[in-house]
Amino acid sequence: MLESDYTFEVIDAASQRMTWGEFEPRIRTAAPKYYLTHCTAQTLTNDMYGVTLAKGIGATTMAFGTHVTAMPTETMRDFPALDFVIQGESELTFREIIDVMEGCQSSRPEWVQELLEKTDANWKPSPEPNERGIDLSQIKGLVWRDRGQIRINNSRPFIRDLSDLPIPLHAHLSGNELDMPLKKNPLVLLVNPPAPDGRIWFSTHYRGNVHTRTEIVPTRYPLEQHAVMLIGFESRLDNFSQ
């Protein structure tokens, strides 16, 4: 979502088996202006420790994921180093936060602008930063601190067609980081939750930087033609029964 417009670095600390002694100098060397972390209940303590490290060197900190989506107020209250929580689908909210904070709404790529408007017919741009500060109240899906108070903005609608999203930049990770733990298969099939229109999509992750997104035909699909050896179903609490 940021490629070509902003510089960024992806650190997949878990897949690299990175220790805190290795992670902290990486963050200090990078000195990011913004720090975004994925957050789940199982990893909350570690995730927030990373947030605290980043905040200590001056970064604006953000978290997304299942835990903060379900418990945004509690997370913000318990971890004062966390500046923003992104609820629900994070892609557009994250991009919009950066554009608004940087005063770059007018120069965002056409495909991003079209996706914002296609996803939400009532979308409106945020006011540009001025001497009074930055107004974040128009960014849907955002939880933020407004003069000391935790403020929850309106929810962002789901992206209707997942194929409108750009292909993940797996090239920013080394090939070994894409391997499944304890597995030697070069291909992993991740079945995503049903889209709002009821379609089911799968993403194929190869050892390397190849990524495709294809619709699954209900009840019949020749998976053997793709040499699929392992299927991983991605599930959340709100769609577990499906």
What does the block give as tokens for 47?
Answer: 């995730």
Task: Give the per-residue pLDDT at 54.
Answer: 96
Domain ranges of the chain: 20-152, 167-239
For residue 26, give every residue at least 6 positions away whose Cβ sits within 8 Å of its Cβ, in sequence order, or none.
11, 18
Strands (DSSP E) contained in 26-157 are 34-38, 60-64, 84-86, 142-146, 149-152
What does the block give as tokens for 98?
Answer: 């950066």
> Per this entry, what is the length of the chain?
242
CB atoms within 10 A of CB 212: 11
Task: Give the per-residue pLDDT at 211.
Answer: 43
For 193, counting Cβ atoms within 10 Å of its Cβ (0-12 exposed, 13-18 middle, 19+ buried), the class is middle
We find that the CATH architecture of domain 20-152 is 3-Layer(aba) Sandwich (3.40)
What does the block give as tokens for 117?
Answer: 């408007």
Task: Give the per-residue pLDDT at 235.
Answer: 52
What CA dihedral angle connects 16, 11, 93 and 207, to 10 degrees? Answer: -50
For residue 121, give every residue at least 6 positions away whose Cβ sits within 8 Å of its Cβ, in sequence order, or none.
none
Task: Give the per-residue pLDDT at 42.
Answer: 87
In the sheet with 84-86, reading across from the earlier edge strand, the strands are 34-38, 60-64, 84-86, 142-146, 149-152
- Can you tell me the distance from the alpha carbon of 3 to that of 67, in angstroms, rounded to the nearest whole number? 27
Mean pLDDT by 10 residues, the chain (242 residues): 86 83 94 94 92 96 94 95 95 95 92 94 89 90 94 94 81 55 48 52 45 42 50 52 48
